[in-house]
Amino acid sequence: MSQMKSIMSMMELSSIACFCIFLAFLINLVIKFVLPSSVAERKRLPLPPGSLGWPYIGETFQLYSQNPNVFFASKQKRYGSIFKTHILGCPCVMISSSESAKFVLVTKSNLFKPTFPASKERMLGKQAIFFHQGEYHYRLRKLVLRAFTPDAIWNRVSDIESIALDCLGSMEGRVINTYQEMKTYSFNVALLSIFGKDEVLYREDLKRCYYVLEEGYNSMPINMPGTLFHKSMKARRELAGILSKIISRRRRRRRNSSSSSSSSSSDLLGSFMDLREGLSDEQIADNVIGVIFAARDTSASVLTWCLKFLSEYPSDLQAVTEEQEAIIRKKGKEAKRRLDWTDTRQMPLTSRVIQETLRVASILSFTFREAVEDVEHQGYLIPKGWKVLPLFRNIHHSPENFPEPHKFDPSRFEVAPKPNTFLPFGSGAHSCPGSELAKLEILVLLHHLTTKYRQAVCTTNFRLRQRSKHMLWSMMSSENGIQYGPFALPLNGLPIRLSLRTQHQ
């Protein structure tokens, strides 16, 4: 009997073994012939070449403490157009070709959700438009565009002009840090676009909290007392409280008003508070903070670089000045009349200077995306959860896309650049919805800066000081450096002194 049981057990084990072999054979057939081959191969795909640097810290300091051109170019030279790294606590894949940028941002955008490092995501708020795709993102983008399209901002020119004149007036006769002053200007324009003319009621409180918050945007997400991240998160909570009070005040005003149609469309807050959209206070606050973040530093950086490049290229400055003066002459007896939307559409030379500034300076060196699943690209595996960074700076500085890429030449934009090679505002469904507002505020300020003021960059150089008596703009070589972290900026924020032009200048 025991021998029979032993034989039976052996037969059962044999049957199980045969079944397992047969099952493995079937699975192999399914993988080979039924499933797409890329799924089977993906498990064997290598990661892109590159280095992840130190544990956790990665290569964050190497990127943010030096010329980003050096960091990106050295990586690209060593590893090619796609390579891995590790920044701000995240494993990343960086891509530096226009074709790959299109793949991530447009063609296969559904595989890459917009994102930021953990520190910035927590500071902006998880409900902000940057971190979503699909229906929620579509709704938010529609609301932002409602407030920022040309049809929405054409009647704000006069209000933006008032902010520009106040900004320039406060700068007269003193040495200023151009970047810091332009940040103030861009911040005030952003508040105008978000809160309408009521922004003056909240400006100082919002400024106080937001300025502390932004200091921690590129910090490590270590929320311990004494860290920059902890300090910024505390300011973020206070900022959310101020925004909650503003939203409540707007609701009370709506209830007391016989019609809410104007308030629901005249500014971004009104658009967000549209009852048909049903956004919560938290969603509104996160997106307001996100818009301020997107609008402030980038516009300020572009303006600062515009002044620097115009200082270095007198012929371009002369062309811009003549174009702006021609707009004034066209007004004739109405010369004191404020700028209007039509005027801003008659500045093609100035617009090309802005475009070339965006290209050469590449304020946004890259953008963040995150793979929502394992993705194969160019024979490499991009693992689910890894950040993917299209490198706009590399694309803008490629000689294949722009001959003599390091030369400042606005005339190159007399002809439209090749598709997917000029991406200062991103591309695809997640491109910057506020690009038209950014261009408008830059045009308005440059109009008054070139027609009302003369600029001399602070200098102790006698030769340049003598030249500045005969030139509208001058630049001193010792102030010609660049500083980094996180944006590339002229050294010391481009210190200048503004003085009103005399009638014969």
Annotated binding residues for heme, written as ranges, equal: 432
Per the annotation, binding residues are 432
In whole angstroms, give the CA distance from residue 19 to residue 449.
82
In whole angstroms, give the CA distance from residue 234 to residue 213.
8
Strand 387-390 and strand 90-95: the pairing is: parallel
- Those residues with Cβ within 8 angstroms of residue 165's Cβ, 6 or more apart along the chain or in another chain: 448
In whole angstroms, give the CA distance from residue 450 to residue 445.
9
In whole angstroms, give the CA distance from residue 488 to residue 306.
13
According to DSSP, the residues that pair with 82 across neighbouring strands are 95
According to DSSP, the residues that pair with 177 across neighbouring strands are 495
In whole angstroms, give the CA distance from residue 173 to residue 164.
16
- How far from the centroid of its chain's Cα atoms is residue 300's Cα? 12
Where would I find the H helices in 404-486?
A: 435-452, 462-467
CA-wise closest residue to 438 among 360, 338, 358: 358
- How far from the centroid of its chain's Cα atoms is residue 276's Cα? 29
Quick check: helix, strand or coil at residue 375? strand
The verdict on whether omega for the bond into residue 486 sits within 30 degrees of 0, i.e. cis, is: yes
Q: Return the ∠ at Cα 390 (arms to 179 and 135), rounded to 5°.
A: 95
In whole angstroms, give the CA distance from residue 387 to residue 115.
8
Number of helices followed by number of strands (H, E) in the chain: 20, 12
